[in-house]
Structures are given as structure tokens and as C-alpha cells.
Amino acid sequence: MNFQQTVDYLLSLGNEVETMKLGLENIRKLLDALGSPQKHYVKVQIAGTNGKGSVCAFLGSICREAGIRTGVYTSPHLVSITERVNIDGVGISEDEFARLATRVRDVSEKLVAEGALETVPTYFEQVTAIALLGFAESKMDIAILETGLGGRYDAVTAANAEICAITRIDLDHQEFLGGTIEEIAAEKAAIIRADSRVVIGEQFDAAFDVILNQCRRLGVAPTLLNGGRTTGRCAANVYEEEAHSLPLVFPPLGLAGIHQIENAEVAVAIVEILRGYFPITNEQISDGLAKARHPGRLERIDRFLLDAAHNPGGAKALRDYLDEFVDQPITLIFGAMKDKNVAEIAEILFPKAEHVVLTVPSNTRAMPVEEVADLVPKSFDQGRLFKHPDVADALSKAEAVTPENGIILVTGSLYLVGDIKRILKSRI
């Protein structure tokens, strides 16, 4: 397959969230048939609701500064699927992605033909296999793997990472993971194994207790971060947090927003464990934190501010940033997926906007404009609300109503951010 054929084939497998399978049997058999590529490097798996992508960005940057050959696997992508497989700071080439995808497809279909699998692995399972195989063939020293959804049944979990970290957990994807913080935390904590080294980021009490109970059950002594619920020591010595030293001077971070301090601390705690595998200096940590980049998260492009705040926690972090750093008129382009708490996100963000333009991201899970409109706070002036299902039309409307000194904030969905970036890129 060439690159476009590869993309078409993967899309033919269905939406990566809607076609998620419960269980790791398919991905494990696929990886075995590919020669278990995940066994050729150290692996770090990051799970959580908010911040896991930023932790991957910080950690990847630090490892590259230390001269460690580093693969980073994230999802979803903004513009090109090649963004998901990052090798030493660069997205994989289209030709290389197509080559690996062809091999993964051939092996998948052979497993089905032989009766080893009932159906071919899903979109996300195959892309995960592409990444793990690509990292092995590129001779990576470490692979940093962002969990796609949950943890217990996520394809990334089949890699059996030596180190795992869990960022702050909040309500999201309830139809898949459960309706309470405790249920969601249990799904994410399931990535922890008896032989894991574990970092627990700051958590709400309910989530912290669930994660800590998983560690207790498996006899794992996690590293806990300062602040929030994680300041106290646990009763039994085996569960006491391991000390970790931050750089003497915490540098200005490469990612914007006060919430990124928390994510940077998770990354540094992971680095302390990685020092058992690789030599990493404090200077390399500081340089890596300062040079980290994460497209689509408080990313500025001319008069545009792009942020993929897709749940209330992300919306609060974005609102805090706007309150502190933005004093210009804001036009908000907003679109979201059907499973999101749009009403609460709108309550948090819409009051900051002079105008709001509702639209529909290019994803089968996207919420129609009229449904989003029904969830707009009643206090918001309907004369400043516009509905344009087509993203290009929404962008044109936003540009028309935004004064010269204003900014256009694009948020609500990473897919929407990707749509806007694609349009902006086409203008160059």
C-alpha cells in the first residue's frame, strides 16, 4: 500500500473509539506474530484524563536532550496520522508509515485466515502495532506511549511497559469507562502490574484511593508527587512514596499554562526512575522542559489560539490561562464530540467570548450544531452566537466578526483543532 491507500484502509476499519474492543487478545497475538517488537526497548506508558500528552511531550524532550534515542506514540493526530509515531523528535515519513502499515495489515489478515483471530485488529490496534514495530526497527532506546482510552483494555497496555504514570483523572468517556471517578480510575489503574515502576500524579481523593489500592494489591511502591491528595505518606512502609529530586532551578516551561507545572513534575518523576537505565543530568532535564512542544495545546498561530480542551478539567485549565494572559476580545470557534459534557464546558468558557461560532469537527462522533446550541448557557447573548456546521464557513465567520486586536480561540475537540490547522496550512 502507498500512504493514501494506508490511510483509506485504516479508516475503513471504523472510528477508532466507536470500534474499540474490550480485551487485549487481538493486539497481543498481532504483536507476537510481528516478533514482539515491544521487547526491544524500555517503555513508559502514560494514562490519565488530562495532561498525559503533555507529559509525553516533556518526557520525550528531556530524553532527546540526554541523547537517548526516543520514540513517542500519541493519539489522536491533528493533521496527519504520521504525527502519532514520532522518532527522535520527528514524525515518521509517509513512506515508512505505509511500509510498516502494509506489514501489519498482511500479518493481521494472515492471522484471520489461519483462524488465530476472528476479525482483523481495529484501527487503533493496528496503528499501535505500527508504532511499536517502527520503534524496534529504528532501534529506539525508549518508547513513550500515551494511552488512548482508559487503560485496562487499551492496545498500548499490551506493550507491558516497565514504567507507568497516571496523570490527574477526571470524568470523561463515561460511556466506555464508567460514570464515576472511582470507576474511571480503576480502568486507568489497571495498567499497573506487580513488576511496574509507578508514578502517581496529583489526584482527587476518590481517584487517588483507587490507584493506591491497586498498588497495595500488587505490592507496588509508587512515586507520589507533592501537593494535593498525594502529600501524605501511606500507612504501610511498602507503599511509601519514593523521593525524587527536581532540577535545582525549574525553568520556564516550553508548554504554556500554570497546569503544565503539574505535568512537568510527573515527567521529572519518571526521569528519576529512568536514571536507573540511562544517564540524565539535571541540566538536560531543565533544557528538555524548556524546549518541549505540544501542538494543539495552547498553541498560538498568528491571531489564533488553539487548545484541545474537551472536558471540564481541560476547560478550567484553559479558562485559567485566558484569565491570566489574554486581555483581547475573544471569538470562540467551538465543536465537540457527542460524549462530552458540553454544557459544563460551555459554562466555563463561553462567558469569556465576545462571539461564539459553533461548528462540527470532521469525525463521526461529532455533535451536531443544533445539539450544541441547545447546551449554550441561557445567559449568553444569542445575537453573538453563530451556527456554521462546515468548519471552513465557521472559520470565515469568526474572522469576519473578530476585531483587528482580537484573537480567535479554537477549542472543544482535538479534531476541530486539526481541521483548523489543516485550513491554515493550506493558506501558506
Which numeric CATH code is attached to 299-427? Answer: 3.90.190.20
How crowded is residue 112: how many other Cβ atoms within 10 Å of its Cβ?
14
Report yes or no on whether pTM surpasses 0.95. no
pLDDT at 226: 57
Query: For 169-195, what is the mean pLDDT?
Result: 80
- ω into 76 cis (within 30 of 0): yes
pLDDT at 339: 84
- For residue 215, the Cα-to-chain-centroid distance in whole angstroms is 23
Question: Per-residue confidence at 247, pLDDT binned at 50, 70, 90?
Answer: very low
Q: State the cell numbers at 324.
A: 491570566
pLDDT at 150: 81
Query: For 29-50, what is the mean pLDDT?
Result: 97
Residue 170 carries which side chain, given as an amino acid letter? D
3-state secondary structure of 16: coil
Of residues 392 and 180, the one with the higher pLDDT is 392
Report the distance separating Cα 293 and Cα 61, nearest Å: 8
Report the distance separating Cα 294 and Cα 379, nearest Å: 34
pLDDT at 181: 87
* Per-range mean pLDDT, top range of 46-50, 146-150, 357-361: 357-361
pLDDT at 164: 97
Give 119-174 pLDDT, tens digit per residue: 999 999 999 999 999 999 999 999 999 998 888 899 999 999 999 999 999 865 45
Query: Exposed/middle/buried for 426, CB within 10 Å: 0-12, 13-18, 19+?
Result: exposed
From residue 414, give the alpha-carbon distance in Å to each of 46, 88, 127, 224: 18, 23, 18, 29
Report the distance separating Cα 388 and Cα 416, nearest Å: 13
Instruction: Indicate if the pLDDT at residue 423 is higher than 70.
Output: yes
Report the distance separating Cα 136 and Cα 138, nearest Å: 5
CB-based contact 184:207 (threshold 8 Å): yes
Give 363-374 pLDDT, tens digit per residue: 999 999 999 999
Radius of gyration of the chain (CA): 21
Query: For 319-348, what is the mean pLDDT?
Result: 94
pLDDT at 162: 98
Domain locations in the chain?
3-291, 299-427
Q: State the cell numbers at 386.
A: 453563530
Contacts of 99 (CB under 8 A, 6+ apart): none
Angle 423-408-372 (CA atoms, 0-180°, nearest 5)? 85
Question: Per-residue confidence at 428, pLDDT binned at 50, 70, 90?
Answer: confident
Instruction: Indicate if the pLDDT at residue 314 is higher than 70.
Output: yes
Pairing, β 90-91 against β 85-87 = antiparallel
pLDDT at 228: 34
Query: For 101-114, what is the mean pLDDT?
Result: 98
Contacts of 392 (CB under 8 A, 6+ apart): 423
Q: How far apart are the first and last CA of the chain?
A: 29
Instruction: Indicate if the pLDDT at residue 37 is higher than 80.
Output: yes
Q: Which fold has domain 3-291?
A: UDP-N-acetylmuramoyl-L-alanine:D-glutamate ligase (3.40.1190)
3-state secondary structure of 174: helix
Report the distance separating Cα 348 and Cα 321, nearest Å: 12
Report the distance separating Cα 17 and Cα 176, nearest Å: 9
Instruction: Indicate if the pLDDT at residue 237 is higher than 50.
Output: no
Instruction: Indicate if the pLDDT at residue 104 is higher than 80.
Output: yes
pLDDT at 222: 94
Instruction: Indicate if the pLDDT at residue 245 is higher than 90.
Output: no
